[in-house]
Amino acid sequence: AKPGQVPMRKRQLPASFWEEPRPT
């Protein structure tokens, strides 16, 4: 089902989605 206007933070996304990568 479509999440509708559910904030991105409340969606089932990998933890890495919220972690800005460190520069390599």
Partner 1 sequence: LWQGRGVASSKLWMLEFSAFLERQQDPDTYNKHLFVHIGQSSPSPGDPHLEAVDICQIYDKFPDKQGGLGELFQRGPPDAFFLVKFWADLNTSVEDEAGCFYGVSSQYQSAENMVITCSTKVCSFGKQVVEKVETEYARYEGGRYLYRIHRSPLCEYMVNFLHKLKHLPEPYMMNSVLENFTVLQVVSNRDTQETLLCIAYVFEVSAGAHGAQHHVYRLVKE
Q: Which of residues 1-24 bind partner 1 (CB under 8 A)?
A: 1-5, 7-8, 11-14, 16-17, 20-23
Sign of CA dihedral 16, 14, 7, 10: negative
Q: What whole-number distance in Å separates Cα of residue 24 and Cα of residue 22?
A: 6
Within 10 angstroms of residue 1's Cβ, the number of other Cβ atoms is 3
Q: Tell me how far, at minimum, the Cβ of 6 lies from partner 1, in Å.
A: 8
Q: Tell me how far, at minimum, the Cβ of 9 lies from partner 1, in Å.
A: 9
Q: Which residues bind partner 1 (CB under 8 A)?
A: 1-5, 7-8, 11-14, 16-17, 20-23
